[in-house]
Amino acid sequence: MSEISPSRPARLRRSVLSVPAINRRALEKLSSLDCDAVIFDLEDSVSPEKKAEARENLRAFFAASPLPTKERIIRINALSSNFGADDLALVVELQPDAVLLPKVDEPQDVTSVSDRLAEADAPEDLRIWAMIETPRGILNAAAIAEAGRTAGSRLDCFVVGLNDLRKETGVLPQPGRTYVVPWLMQVILAVSAYGLEAIDSVFNDFKNAGEFEAECGQGVAMGFSGKMLIHPGQIETANRHFGPDEAAIAEAKAIISAFAEPDAATLNVVNLGGRMVERLHLVQAERLVHKARLIEQRFDAAATPRTDV
């Protein structure tokens, strides 16, 4: 979950559903889905001859469907392609919450788009997400994250793309992701060092519920904020795994209460039911409770029955 600041509002990113912008039927269903964020894809899922139609679909959709409870991200084509400039112009026009850049290899891929958005007078809260899906992207993850946190940059989030990464390296998809775990953790280290977030890669076999459950659990244990999804049937599982459960919320509230006691005002460690808890755990507890509060607020705003927390 992102930190709270005027230009970087805290967001829920447990479930990030990718939807082809060319698929009008899928776009129409979004308001009824319980995902935290939506990636409107203009890149891989849209054929070259359909790019212009996909942009028109998004123009009509944003005019009619604001989706107030969901973070909205538009994935554009690379600016070096024949479509990237038109995609970025559409982003400036529609002003989603973020633009997702494909195949980010080096810091300049982010800073150049940030500069273009500033030149176009795009609002400061229009943020940048970066797809880390190439060997160079993995190797340069820390440098990309560092550059993205400089003054004037808009970088908020990394999204890991294992499909392209596997294609370029020859690593086969296997349960447990054994051979790509070091790369995933390298991304987590980079975002953690520079105050960003990371979204775990898609799971392609959406009918394999058991393996998807396991991969979500693995992503949580690694430190990812959420998971990029390719099918609505994956939303509930992602929300459940990446959202705090009742036991974790209760423990976090107990930690906050313990440090709120007058006797704890000058203490860095307190005794909580026979367990020593440090003040750094207070920071973690406050973040978790804030995340739970955001989930409550989103369900209240959407008037949707709560099922995942």
**Residue spans per domain, the chain:** 15-242, 246-302
Beta strands in the chain (DSSP E): 15-20, 37-41, 71-75, 98-101, 127-132, 155-160, 197-200, 226-229, 269-272, 275-278
**CA atoms of 119 and 124, how far apart (whole Å):** 12
Model pTM score = 0.87
Q: Residue 1's pLDDT is what? A: 46
Q: Residue 5's pLDDT is what? A: 40
With cut-offs at 50, 70 and 90, classify the pLDDT of residue 72: very high
Looking at the chain, the whole-number percentage of residues with pLDDT higher than 90 is: 71
Please state the rounded mean pLDDT for residues 234-248.
92
**CA atoms of 118 and 124, how far apart (whole Å):** 8
214: Cβ–Cβ under 8 A, 6 or more apart, which residues? 175, 176
Q: Residue 153's pLDDT is what? A: 80
Strands 37-41 and 15-20: parallel
Q: Residue 194's pLDDT is what? A: 92
pLDDT 10s digits, 113-129: 999 999 999 999 999 99
133 labeled binding residue: yes
Helix (H) or strand (E) holding 207: none
pLDDT 10s digits, 283-294: 778 888 888 888
164 labeled binding residue: yes
**CA atoms of 93 and 95, how far apart (whole Å):** 6
Biggest CA pair distance of the chain: 68
φ, ψ for residue 156 (rounded to 5)? -120, -35
- Token duo for residue 235: 């939303």
Contact 40, 74 (CB under 8 A): yes
Please state the rounded mean pLDDT for residues 4-14.
63
User: Would the pLDDT of 186 be above 50?
Assistant: yes
Q: Please tell me the least confidently modeled range out of 17-26, 42-51, 179-188, 239-248.
A: 239-248
75 labeled binding residue: yes
Class for domain 15-242, per CATH? alpha beta
φ, ψ for residue 159 (rounded to 5)? -125, 125
